[in-house]
Structure 1
Amino acid sequence: MVDFKGLSAFPITPSDPDGRIDAGALRALLEPLIAARVDSIGLLGSTGSYPYFSREERRRAVQAAVSVADGRTPMLVGVGALRTDDAVRLAQDARDAGAAAGLLAPVSYTPLTDDEVFEHFRTVAHESGLPICIYDNPGTTHFRFTPALIGRLSRVEGIVAVKSPALDAAALPGHIAELRAAVPNGFPLGYSADWNCTAALLAGAETWYSVLGGVFPKICLDIVRAVASGNTARAQELDARLQPVWQLLKTFSSLRVVYAIANLSGICAAEPPRPILPLPPDAQRRIRDVLAGLEIS
């Protein structure tokens, strides 16, 4: 099972225009993450465009990733789906392919109630046999978890962690305190929204679920290690160095920017799944200029 601490790096999922996974490009993305010794890889997260792929392609992606990792790096795999039975099957597929845990978001069209989300998560955890991390991502699901609901879910067998959005740095200490009061001791709290995640780690979060870590793992690992060693000044210095990147993510969206970085850096050639379009040339020039001014790898 994934030790939900440290850096969980979230890569894109390269594919062709028909939605077929490009296993070679996926390997090119994963190998540097594994070599850098990230703590886990978040495959088929929102950055990995999980809702845009068929069940078969999602299975192929997990199989390819687990093969590349060869036991060196645990895979946290997105298993979200509109229907509970589909999410169960996706979690079973991920389990059978060798994933260490599933990342489950309450994907919906009809708005969901707390009780519906609770039952959805309980069923997936129970019937799949795959450890589940709660994925709170209201920007895409339009459902926001309360600390009380996370507390209920944290006591369900098989639900082992939570990934929350770090949307307001000033509110992080209070949010972490509320969650700590709601969940059992040792239940790991992690955050995404890269531009506020150094603040989340410094406030006591255990895990950074990182988009940038999916292309530039080393500097993200340096931040995580600086926080772990108590070197607050070093963590804040590295975070300040990345402020131009954080601004890009906020301006153009993390997904679009990371696709552009992967292409501009020569990591792989890939376009986001339609209807999402690559960023226009002027935005790509801006990203190229920011990358040229940074000393990161």
Structure 2
Amino acid sequence: MLSGLSAFPLTPMNENGLDEAAFARLIKRLVTAGVDSIGALGSTGNYAYLSREERGRIAGLAVENAGDTPVIVGIGALRTREVQGLAEDAQKAGANGVLLAPVSYQRLSADEVFGLYEAVTRDLSVPLCVYDNPGTTHFEFTDELHGRIAELPKVKSIKIPGVPAEPEAARARVERLRALIPSHVSIGVSGDAMAATGLNAGCEAWYSVIGGLFPEAALAITRAAQAGDVGQATRLSARLQPLWDLFTQQGGSLRVVAAAAELKGLVETPCLPLPLKALEGDARQQLSALLDELELA
């Protein structure tokens, strides 16, 4: 389950509430494409902007519409007791796994982060993926801390934020982490622009933003890498470089993907919780042209 392409969809919403019908359609779209797992309520799913009740509803909808495709549910929150409650809700909803980032307002220490994972895994009955996302949590894991956490029960994957661009450096980075964690714990790359390099370097999974909206494009890269076709995986990713560049220009992928979903008619406009906004103006027009050029549908 915690290998291959894990696709992370948006959670469409506006100030009146969740767009449950649009979310269900996004999930079914991923199932039809044949993704390896679905990551509900990741950063792209805007989990931090939702109440516990809303998160429980989204977890249930994801499982209900995913069929046999495994569903991983994000459970990050500020307090350990909140995380434990969200883990309980995800398991009751039928999630196949959970994804946990060390969310904080006060900067966390390594011992505090370890304590969070230790407390949550103590009563967990499904696999857990460690969500290493310093861009949102402002906490940077060391490989040594990953090694400690990976020994805890139910920890089955680590979602790293990216790899170096140079292939040999990327492989060395993955091998350093691999040497410190058990063999049953997979390493998954995020940061879509680095996915092909990470998969080619030995990452077993791609936790993908673009996969949550355009799964066929992400699957083509994943399957090429899994087949050992380094050149094809690299070429397919390079073709999407203008999209990766737009992610960088806009300070991340969320606003771009939200605008893409709106432009393709997959969700209503607006689809993000205020104060967040999808791309507007010239940037939106640029994206529209880019989607046509890349034939992303």
TM-score class normalised by the smaller sequence = over 0.9
Structure 2 counterpart of 1:106: 102
User: Cα distance, 1:174 vs. partner?
Assistant: 2.5
1:231-254, Cα deviation, whole Å (9 max, x unpaired)? 222111211111111111111120
- Kindly provide the CA deviation profile for residues 108-155 of structure 1, in whole angstroms up to 9, marking residues without a partner as x: 111111111001011111134332110000011010111101101111
Mapping 1:1-297, distance limit 5 Å: 3-18=1-16, 20-70=17-67, 72-166=68-162, 168-170=164-166, 171-252=169-250, 253-269=252-268, 270-297=270-297
Query: Contact conserved, 1:21 with 1:60, CA < 8 A, in 2?
Result: no
C-alpha distance in structure 2 between counterparts of 1:55 and 1:246, whole Å: 32
What CA distance in whole angstroms lies between the structure 1 residues aligned with 2:286 and 2:141?
35
Mean alpha-carbon deviation: is it higher for 122-131 or for 81-90? 122-131
Counterpart AA for 2:108: L
CA distance in 2, matches of 1:167, 1:178: 12
Percent of aligned positions with the same letter in both sequences? Answer: 45
Q: Is contact 1:176-1:203 (8 Å) kept? A: yes
1:97 CA drift (Å):
0.1
Secondary structure of the 1:89 match is helix
- 3-state SS in 1 of match to 2:177: helix
Decide whether the 8 Å contact of 2:124 with 2:154 is kept in 1.
Answer: no
Report if aligned partners of 1:11, 1:211 keep a CA contact under 8 Å in 2. Answer: yes
Return the letter of the residue paired with 1:76: I
Tell me if structure 2 keeps the 8 A contact 1:89–1:128. Answer: no
Secondary structure of the residue aligned to 2:141 is: coil
Q: 2:161–2:191: 8 Å Cα contact kept in structure 1?
A: yes
Alignment gaps of 5+ in structure 1? none
* Counterpart-to-counterpart distance in 1, 2:44 and 2:266: 16
C-alpha distance 229-100 of structure 1, shift in aligned 2 (>3 A): same
Q: Distance in 2 between matches of 1:143 and 1:175?
A: 19
In structure 2, distance between residues paired with 1:25 and 1:104: 25
* Per-residue CA distance 1:134-185 (angstroms, 9 max, x = gap): 0000011010111101101111011111001015323422321111110012
Classify the secondary structure of the residue corresponding to 1:182: coil
Show CA shifts across 1:190-235 (max 9, x none): 0100001100000000000110001110111111111111222211
Distance 1:66 1:160 in 2: 20
Q: How many residues were matched structurally?
A: 293
Q: Distance in 1 between matches of 2:257 and 2:141?
A: 27
Name whichever of 138-147 and 126-135 sits farther off. Answer: 126-135
CA distance in 2, matches of 1:167, 1:22: 35
3-state SS in 2 of match to 1:12 = coil
The one-letter amino acid paired with 2:34 is: R
